[in-house]
Chain A
Amino acid sequence: MENHDTHTEHKPHGYGVYLVVWLGLLALTALTVTVAGINFGGLTVTTALLVASVKSYLVLKIFMHLGAEQKVFKLFIVVALFFIIVSFVLLFSDYSFI
């Protein structure tokens, strides 16, 4: 953690890391488009959201430098995600009975 506290001193990602992540994101996009073409029924949405989550994780961790930030930043994200999930669960605890 220490090396990230002072901005000018922390070792930044190389250009290559970003390129690799970008290729990964493109590959995941290709995957999600291909999977959407096959009919998995209810699993299609799940797969799409799963792939989108993996893509978001890559963007957050590498592009947005979350991996290099202090712990408190990660805590923010966890709290935000927790409340989103709670909201979805509460929302669908109502609607799934229709």
Chain B
Amino acid sequence: MSTQDHAVHVHRDDVGARMGMWLFLFTELLLFGGLFFLYSVYRFVNQEQFHIAAKELNTLVGTFNTIILLTSSLTMALSIAAIQRNNKSLSVFFQGITILLAFGFLINKYFEWSIKFHHGIYPGSEILTSKLKGEILFFGLYYVMTGLHGLHVIIGIVLIGFMTRLTMKNVINQNSYVKLEAAGLYWHLVDIIWIFLFPLFYLIT
């Protein structure tokens, strides 16, 4: 690559680091992509039953969580903009807000799932297994896909938490913030996945 020379500082290749992160994100795409394929086929084969099952989901909670996650993506991007301008405390502040919003998302999810569990809708429950095949598939996919996404949110919290610590210790600074960028890329991917999960599960009318 002809541009490589410019990217290398002393022993550093930020472009390469970001490229590595992007390649990792593509493996995530494979992971979720398979589930999206599964969803599309099952929905195509069981259209009516998917519509009936989706009525159980609360659109308001889904919309609220979408807003939370979009806002957390904003604060993540802003934290990088702040460190680029050598504003360490502002960057730490935005990272903190991102983590708080991520927790907010999970708390919402917790209540949402508990209500479902309370209504007897959880994998393997008597009420769920007595429903039609398409409805069982819908809830199976709902729990697996939003569950896997939720796991990514938890990983994201840990990751950003480490970055906040590194920023406070000046390891991440105006001249070297590729770690924070990589964490940001991960966080935005989690957001993009939710952007697709939200209409596919909550907005089937």
Q: Which residues in A have some Cβ–Cβ distance to B below 8 Å?
A: 1-2, 5-8, 12-15, 18-19, 21-22, 25-26, 29, 32-33, 36-37, 39, 44-45, 48-49, 51-52, 55-56, 59-60, 62-65, 69-70, 72-73, 76, 80, 84, 87-88, 91-92, 95-96, 98
Contact = CB atoms under 8 A, between A and B. Distances in A.
A13 B26 CA distance: 25
Contact of A73 (B22, B81, B199, B204): B22
Contacts of A7: 7, 14-15, 178
Nearest to A29: B66
29 contacts: A5-B3, A7-B7, A12-B80, A13-B77, A29-B67, A36-B205, A37-B205, A39-B205, A44-B204, A49-B199, A51-B199, A52-B195, A52-B196, A52-B198, A60-B188, A63-B77, A63-B188, A69-B15, A69-B18, A72-B1, A73-B22, A76-B26, A80-B29, A84-B33, A87-B37, A91-B37, A95-B41, A95-B45, A98-B45
B188 A6 contact: no
B192 interface: yes
B203 interface: yes
A92 B203 CA distance: 22
Contacts of A84: 29, 33
A7 B15 CA distance: 8
Contact of B77 (A18, A76, A87): A18
A98 B196 CA distance: 26
Given A32-B199, A33-B63, A70 B15 contact: yes
B128 interface: no
B40 interface: yes
A15 B81 contact: yes
Contact of B74 (A18, A32, A96): A18
B135 interface: no
A76 B189 CA distance: 15
A59 B41 contact: no
Nearest to A15: B81
A19 B1 CA distance: 35
Contacts of A95: 41, 44-45
Instruction: Tell me what chain A mostly uses at the interface: helix, strand, loop, or mixed.
Output: helix
A94 B67 CA distance: 37
B6 interface: yes
Contacts of A19: 74
Interface in B1-59: 1, 3, 6-7, 14-15, 18-19, 22-23, 26, 29, 33, 37, 40-41, 44-45, 59
Nearest to A9: B6
Nearest to A40: B205
